[in-house]
A and B are shown apart, each in its own frame.
Chain A
Amino acid sequence: MTRDKTSDESAADRRGFMTKLLAVVCGGLATLPPVLAGVWMFLDPLRRRGAAATFLPVTDLASVPDDGIPRQFAVVADRVDAWTGFAAEPIGAVYLRREKGSDTVEALSATCPHAGCFVEMESQERCFRCPCHNSKFTLDGGMVAPSPSPRAMDGLECQVAKNGEIAVKWQNFYTGIAEKVARP
């Protein structure tokens, strides 16, 4: 059995719809601020940038013998971690290496380009090896295929001052990709 709606009834329907709509809108509006404020703050880290890549003094020429064997050095810098400021703290490590008779120093970041473990020197095998997934690298940081790592170890810019002081441009790179891209 069907019958046409009286105008009264359709008015009631409209009111009913408006009520529902209003209820949803009001409720939604009330909940929105905490959710938005929450998301806003939770995404704060996206705004944060690492310290700008600068040259940091690491050691001096005398400590890097010219025998082609890399030596590991801590990179020390002032560091800010959210609310804490650290003065002169070890923030990472580099390998420095010098060829026979050469005054140029090559610097390699100790961070594995595969997934970020700490690459170690294998003096016996005369190579670098990452203890996590066994990526191997030659002493000058080159890939030893086949390797889980998508690229060679990350070289860092390196300056040797007249007085022998070695400074390295400290940078972090994205891991797991073929290109060497510095993190902002």
Chain B
Amino acid sequence: MKPQHQHDQKQMPQRPVGSLGVLGQLADFLDDRTGYRALMHEALYERVPGGARWRYVWGSTLVFAFMTQVITGLVLWSSYSASAQTAWESVYYIQHEMTGGWLLRGIHHVMAQAMVVLLALHLMQVVIDGAYRAPREVNFWLGLVLMMLVLGMALTGYLLPWDQKGYWATRVATNLAGLVPLVGPSLQQIVVGGPDYGHQTVTRFFAIHAGFLPATLVLMLVVHLSLFRKHGLCAKQPITRPDAMFWPDQVLKDAVAMLAVMAVVLGVILMPAVRAMLEGRPIVPGELGAELGAPADPSQPYAAARPEWYFLFLFQFLKVFEGWGASGEFFGAIVVPGLVMTAMFLMPILGRWQLGHRFNVAFTFALLAGIGLLTAMATNEDYAALWADRSSFADVEKLLEETENDKAKIAAHFGNDVAKIAAFEVRAKKLERIRHSQSFLDAVAMAKADASRSIELAGRPERIPSAGMLELIRNDALSQGPKLFAQHCASCHAHVDPAAPEAEAVLAKASAANLHGFGTAAWMRGLLDPKQVAGPAYFGNTAHKEDDMVNFVQNDLTDADTWKPDDIEAVIAAMAAEAGLAAAGTAPAVIEKGRGLVADGDRCGSCHTFRDNGVAAGSAPDITGWGSREWLVGIIVDPTHERFYGDSNDRMPSFGKAGEGSAPILTGRQIGLIADWLRGDWYRPAGH
């Protein structure tokens, strides 16, 4: 080794001796062994013909964006757990509990979007400058492949939190992949990891997102960059200014551009915090940066399903092929995107002719304009209700309701005047759009509510059960109660705040009592109100309309001699106490007095069993523990039981009683959830 070494030294340029510190000596040593100085020189002292320019920064900002994704991605990886039972849970933990998790995830999320924008800018700049022409064709193609890799990472990353949004968007995307001729169904099955979405979908998407695609991207990027250095910058012609060196002139411009990109990304993340601050609301870090929806649930509809905004044009494009049958989807999802990519790959060849170059530029602009237009259309369809004036369509709405959308009736309404009918139809179409938009907005609001409930539940001191978050949500009265009620109870019972503006209309449609606030003093006060007891909120629309209870409230309770207002209030308090829902601060003496009145054989106790008043079951429901969970579960399980309505039960199914050989309509758990929800009994975080 030694002679060789001495030989090397002879080749080295002479350095000043003596002025070197330890660091300098170390640098010399390293350079000796690695030749890094020459490498650095090679890397930095590239000539930039015509001097540094802002228009050359896009490529560098993309490399910067990618590096940001690698850094943030690796750290996210260190806390992410890929499986259908842990993905959402771990992302929740990152976003809402780990210090700085929201910031890291926010940067990763927003930078991914910035990257797509930068890609579009880079591509535009390359095409406009004709930088794809010989000898740079191969590098242009590499660039297109890189673009697809980035889009692939964006697509796969969307699923990883395994929330409703990502889950449903991915279902659509993978179903479209299934349309590829011949291999489609197999391709779909390989990507999804089986016939159904689950663990293997998450693990595969994660491997593709964080392994396969980035590894390929790095390889391609190395070639892309070295080819770029080999050919040199494609300088803006004509060159009027003196050349400059890459370092530091162009590097400075690049660095400023990177800083600007980062500033925008941080701005997007922090904007809501600034807004909250200005409005005097508290800042919740977990709500900044990237969203986290409710956990994925294949049995729960998700009407707010939309892809990330930069894929919205593809989503919208599928609507264009309305009425094309199966070929429409194939065209929209496979053929047209395929043709567009082919046209882009052919650009360098077309670009050999001046006319071809012009075509390429025009094509690129047309493409971007088309994408912009489709995106705007999609946005407009979804959000139209925000700016459209629905009230101006009141007459259309009314007519549609009256005629039940029956074409013949509508025609008759306009005296079969073709022009009028056509005009009406145009307006009906507009109204329909507003309605659709409104249901999208409602779905978004519901998704938000579901998401924040999930996050609230995940933060319980008991933590998430080992079976995962979905288990917790399926056992949450606040999440499940309204759904179960809508499905099984709402065809008869209303559940509406009597003070709400829509209450009257809702109650008119109901055929059984309004269960809003059931068990509370307010509900009881309404029942014992002679004006309300036979109204639609209580027995008005039931077979009990003329029964003893109504009679009692209207005739006995109104007798001020036997029933002083204080007495009635005492009964109300006692009953709310039975339900365990008495208002805080109700005097025990009042409740005690009320209990006495309820049990009294000359009052409520003349029909109702109450505690140990000895009234035999059967004449009226036993109101011991009325409105309590146990009582509610009991009546839902079997209202025909003699403890409740017995034979006089009016149409209410016995939800928990098995018929001969058939399972009950609702499981015990479901009935419990309905009871808890009606009683307002669900987990509330401390401080609420």
Contacts and interface: CB of A to CB of B under 8 A. Distances in A.
Contact of A184 (B195, B198, B329, B491): B195
Given A45-B190, A46-B186, A92 B319 contact: no
A150 interface: yes
Given A46-B189, A133-B319, A178 B325 contact: yes
Interface in A48-90: 48-50, 57, 59-60, 62-63, 65, 71-75, 81-84, 90
Interface string B626-654: 00000000000000000000000000010
Contacts of A174: 178, 185
Given A81-B199, A117-B305, A45 B298 contact: no
Interface stretch (A1-9, A13-21, A29-37, A159-167): A159-167
A28 interface: no
B318 A164 contact: no
Contact of A176 (B168, B322, B326, B443): B326
Given A84-B199, A131-B305, A178 B326 contact: yes
Contact of B194 (A82, A110, A125): A82
Given A163-B659, A176-B330, A46 B190 contact: yes
Contacts of B172: 115-117, 132
Given A71-B487, A117-B172, A147 B195 contact: no
Of A57, A90, A126, chain B has the most CB atoms within 10 Å of the CB of A90
Given A93-B301, A150-B329, A161 B487 contact: no
A51 B202 CA distance: 20
Given A71-B487, A82-B198, A163 B665 contact: no
Contacts of A161: 661-662
Given A116-B175, A131-B443, A145 B299 contact: no
B85 A65 contact: no
Most buried by A among B329, B330, B333: B329
B199 A176 contact: no
Given A62-B653, A75-B299, A91-B299, A148 B328 contact: yes
Contacts of A129: 436
B665 A60 contact: yes
Contacts of B194: 45, 48, 50, 82
A175 interface: yes
B435 A124 contact: yes
B665 A59 contact: yes
B623 to A, nearest CB: 27
Interface residues of B, number: 61
B203 to A, nearest CB: 9
Contacts of B665: 59-60, 62-63
B175 A175 contact: yes
Nearest to A117: B305
Given A48-B189, A163-B662, A178-B325, A72 B319 contact: no
A99 interface: no
Interface centre among A45, A122, A151 (most CB of B within 10 A): A45
Contacts of A175: 175, 178
Interface in B144-197: 168, 171-172, 175-176, 178-179, 185-186, 189-190, 192-196
A120 B435 CA distance: 14
Contacts of B404: 126
B84 interface: yes
Given A71-B487, A150-B325, A184-B195, A118 B302 contact: yes
B326 A177 contact: yes
B659 A81 contact: no
B319 A148 contact: yes
Given A50-B195, A125-B405, A148 B321 contact: yes
Contacts of A110: 301
Nearest to A176: B329
Interface in B287-314: 297-305
Nearest to B329: A176
